Chains A and B, each alone.
Chain A
Amino acid sequence: MKKFFSLVFILTVALSAGLVAAQDETVTLTIESWRNDDLAIWNEVIIPAFEAQHPNINVEFQPAAPTEYNAALNAKLEGGTAGDLITCRPFDLSLQLFQQGYLADLTDLPGMENFSDVAKSAWITDDGSSVFCVPMASVIHGFIYNQDIFNELGLEEPETEAEFLSILQTIQDAGYVPLAMGTVDQWEAATMGYQNIGPNYWKGEEGRLGLIEGTAKYNEGGFLEAFEALARWRPYLPPGYQAISYPDSQNMFTLGQAAIFPAGSWEISVFRPLVDFEMGAFKPPLPEGADTCYISDHTDIAMGMNAATEHPEEARAFLEWMTTAEFAQLYSNALPGFFSLSNHEITVDDPLAQEFLSWRSECESTIRSSYQILSRGEPNNENDLWAMSAQLLNGEVTPQEAADTVQAGLEAWYEPQQRNS
């Protein structure tokens, strides 16, 4: 018995000593993220810059694999083991977390005024009353090309769809693969294909909001034309594209076998260390007779605070710092291709990233058509677009059939679309 008491005594002393020590030491904040590609950038650039100003806060970046992030984060939040800062997916996934009380309300966070309404649109409640994540970055769609091949064949960046198709033909005749893209992963066909060129056909926000209000449909007008334009890519895809995956197409491009990569700006930091040729970029080509260009400037990533964090003060300090020009500049340059959503004037050193960024002032910005509200039901609009875009490029369905299927899926549950049918 005596032994037992002495053991309890020792344990008590040890524990309280530990607690005291923890109070004296710095606070550690943990960041949950799916960006495991960015581990080095956070650890070497962003976090040191913050810690230099806040010596009492220690930040740890703990990324998970992108495909496992959503499920892992949910499990961790439910189990109460999630980190203090949570990287937010856009729209419903984060909205759900906020409604379940896992994300803290950040509406009154100082510095929030540095973001436009469009920037905040992906992390705000439907009635616009509460913002729950600090917008970090968007990605812009376009085409990255191999300048050596363009020079060799004497090609110029295409402005219109007709020019684009004739360039693809020239490249093919010269023995290169024109477009580095496969359909086996499905999302490429939808994200880098349909959502890339689409805004030019459905006039950006006008078409996208039309879908949400029920005045536009996938199987007519611009949304159908975008499917038709995508179908015209078929002859220019690599041989065996039905079984070519996303990493395969990335490798084809970086090895110089393919001339053009239908891209998102995030590819810049992936390609940069791998290529030994000059890269250029052109924006989605305009359809016949159009004069305004539209780009997909998709709100992709933000940061929120775990409502159950033990260090809300410090977490808010970090989030506040994320609204500053310093963070915007650091982040946009550390990750060329991820463009800060804040209103601060920033300059990007990478010329290719700067090219993408310059389109913001030349063209109208919009986001992917299926992300806001439309992917809430079953069948999920985004997943339908994946499947049908891939099917279309595989030649299994016509553009009209693809569009009809996507529209039917939406009408199956989305009330504003049911009204007009």
Chain B
Amino acid sequence: MQRSGTTRRKPFPIHIIVFLAPAVIIYTAFMIFPLLDSLRLSLYAPGESGEYVFVGLNNYQRLLTEPLWAPRFFGALKNNLVFFAIHMLVQNPIGLFLASLLSSQFIKGRAIYRTLIFTPTVLSVVLVGFIWRLILNPLWGISGDILGLFGIENQPWLGLETTALPVLSLVSVWQYVGIPMMLFLAALISIPDELIEAARVDGATAWHVFWKIKFPLILPTVGIVAVLTFVGNFNAFDLIYTTQRATAGPNFATDILGTFFYRTFFGIQLQPGNPTMGATIAGMMLLIILAGVLLYLFTFQRRLLKMDIQL
């Protein structure tokens, strides 16, 4: 008995497999496998008779150097960075500002404001794109009347190379500002009242309380919001597609990586789709997003962890 007792191992924890299985299977089948298969596809190119031939990293080299591909790719990348910058500089500060207003005790009807500001987020992007196209339409849109009140001349905002991308970025900001607001709000109201009261007793102004007490405490949320914005922006596609179609005009001024990928992969009008180059663009998108997220993990989050330890 004793002997068998020493050789008897712990029974294999089958329940762990059972619990993990659904997530692992679904995630593998619908996320990991397609992702890897797409990366594999990007290493192939159609040969003479149309069958796929392995070409190594040649597609990536073409995308980054050939005059046919490189300007479009870097143009889309630049536009995507602008799109991201506008979200970081407009959406997230406004979200933080609204959240700190809504976390204040002195504002009435906070639940109503919160709901109203969050509502566009749950609307369909197709709907948002359509509504804004109508609002900004130079023929029947109301933007002209409203801007006229402030003495601003109406422009074909979505038709000019200089304005189309900023305007669409702001439409996206309008739609999604509710998400950072909610995240910031949740972080702000979880700050213990004692900390704030103690600061007040020590004579800190509201301004000081915010920047010296509240902001450092919600710093992890700031990081999360930045990463979510980054990932969301570099995967964006739908708003541009619904307002400007896959041509992402005028003159590719609103072309971001998502629309560039779509045009390449599925083709447009007489241009047949090119799945291998499409997969190459998808591969580059994955790399860019991965780089951004890793940067966050290894710099921002690591510093936060250190701070936790020091505390």
| A interface residues with partner B (beta carbon < 8 Å) | 70-71, 74, 91-93, 96, 100, 182-187, 238-245, 248, 251-252, 370-371, 375, 378-383, 386-387, 390-391, 394, 396, 412
Contacts and interface: CB of A to CB of B under 8 A. Distances in A.
B175 interface: no
The 3 A-B pairs at the shortest CB distance, nearest first, are namely A240-B138, A242-B159, A243-B159
Interface of B: 50, 67-68, 133, 136-140, 154-161, 244-245, 247, 249-251, 266-274
Contact of A412 (B68, B245, B250): B68
Given A185-B245, A244-B156, 8 more contacts: A93-B272, A183-B159, A241-B138, A242-B160, A386-B247, A396-B161, A396-B250, A412-B67
A240 B154 contact: yes
B264 to A, nearest CB: 10
A252 B140 CA distance: 10
B241 to A, nearest CB: 11
Contacts of A382: 269-271
Nearest to A387: B251
Contacts of A183: 159, 250
Interface of B is mostly: loop
B139 A244 contact: yes
A188 to B, nearest CB: 12
A242 B156 contact: yes
12 contacts: A74-B273, A92-B270, A183-B159, A185-B245, A239-B138, A240-B156, A243-B157, A243-B159, A243-B160, A244-B139, A379-B68, A391-B251
Contact of A184 (B140, B250, B268, B274): B250
A70 B268 CA distance: 9
Contact of A383 (B137, B154, B155, B270): B270
A81 to B, nearest CB: 19
A380 B202 CA distance: 70
A243 B158 contact: yes
A379 B71 CA distance: 13
Contacts of B269: 187, 380, 382-383, 386
A71 B139 CA distance: 33
B71 to A, nearest CB: 11
Contact of B139 (A96, A238, A394): A238
A182 B158 CA distance: 12
Nearest to B155: A240
B138 A244 contact: yes
A375 B154 CA distance: 38
Given A183-B159, A184-B244, A396-B251, A243 B271 contact: no
A71 B156 contact: no
Contacts of A244: 137-139, 156, 159
Nearest to A391: B251
B68 A70 contact: no
A382 B272 CA distance: 12
A71 B159 contact: no
A294 to B, nearest CB: 22
Contacts of B160: 242-243
A267 B270 CA distance: 21
Given A183-B250, A184-B159, A412-B68, A240 B270 contact: no
A241 B266 contact: no
Contacts of B245: 185
Nearest to B50: A100
B251 A383 contact: no
Contacts of B250: 183-184, 242, 390-391, 394, 396
B72 to A, nearest CB: 10
B251 A243 contact: no
Contacts of A383: 268-271
Given A238-B139, A390-B249, A390-B250, A96 B272 contact: yes
A254 B268 CA distance: 29
Contacts of A185: 245, 247, 249
A186 B247 contact: yes
A182 B270 CA distance: 21
A92 B272 contact: yes
A127 B133 CA distance: 47
Contacts of B251: 387, 390-391, 394, 396
A386 to B, nearest CB: 7
Contacts of A412: 67-68
Contacts of A74: 273
A248 B139 contact: yes
Nearest to B252: A387
Given A71-B267, A390-B250, A391-B251, A243 B156 contact: yes
B194 to A, nearest CB: 55
A394 B270 contact: no
Nearest to A177: B139
B137 A243 contact: yes
A390 to B, nearest CB: 7
Contacts of B267: 70-71
B166 to A, nearest CB: 14
Contact of B266 (A71, A92, A378): A71
A387 B155 CA distance: 21
Given A186-B249, A243-B159, A394-B159, A93 B68 contact: no
Nearest to B161: A396
Contacts of A187: 269
B161 A240 contact: no
A93 B138 CA distance: 36
B59 to A, nearest CB: 13
A382 B137 CA distance: 27
Which of B67, B68, B274 has most A Cβ within 10 Å?
Answer: B68
